Amino acid sequence: TREEMIMNDQTPLFLPTDRNVAVPRIRRPDMGQSVLEQDAVRVTFGEADLKLALSNPVEIAVMPAEVMLNDAVTPWYGLGQGGLSGAPLPARGGFVEVRNVGTNRQIMGEPLLQAKPPAGKPWRPMEFLAAVDAAGLVAPLVISERSDVEEVESYFQTFLTKTFRIGERLPPGFYRVIVGP
């Protein structure tokens, strides 16, 4: 009956029970002490052992012009500004990534520098399905994930087929072609 009682116990598991929490027994106070004196402050460092090396505080200027005229070193000058290269990224019309449908292994990933999608509306990454045989694409690319802009979808559908010639670049198989901005 004890095992049946344990299996049918309706007590929520997040509440402490005798099976999931071990509560330490409270020690009786010594003679002349109260219960509150048991939790007296216990100092772990001696007064001579603990030494903190704190830097002097930085003085804050009253007027903003004083900051520029003062020769004091700003403590956080250049934080997050090191190691940046000034070379701009090359302009691209998108980025194509091709993955095998069966294994999800990436076959190709490169920027589309020649692509010029219609501008105006922002578009999300889209996904096409491609079937390739030894002669190239078996059928036109099929849209499986939309970008919310039909002009961009139709542009990349023709661009990948005719200009980029994706069917000639891939070995026979089934592929997911993901195009992003």
Query: How do residues 6-31 score in pLDDT, each as one tens digit?
Result: 788 777 767 777 666 666 677 776 77
pLDDT of 74 > 60? The answer is no
pLDDT at 177: 94
Q: What is the mean pLDDT of residues 66-84?
A: 60
Catalogue the long-range contacts made by 164-170 (C-beta closer than 8 Å, 24 or more residues apart). 164/96, 164/112, 164/114, 164/115, 165/136, 166/96, 166/98, 166/130, 166/137, 166/141, 167/130, 167/132, 167/136, 167/137, 168/136, 169/108, 170/98, 170/107, 170/108, 170/130, 170/132
Q: What is the pLDDT of residues 34-56, one digit of tens each?
A: 666 666 656 666 666 666 676 66
List pLDDT tens digits, range 113-169: 888 888 778 889 999 999 999 988 999 999 999 988 899 899 999 999 999 999 999
The residue that leads in pLDDT, 109 or 24, is 109
Confidence of residue 83 (pLDDT cuts 50, 70, 90): low
Supply the pTM of this predicted model. Answer: 0.51
Rounded to an integer, the average pLDDT of 78-85 is 63
Query: What confidence score (pLDDT) does residue 67 get?
Result: 62
Q: So what's the pLDDT on residue 60?
A: 65
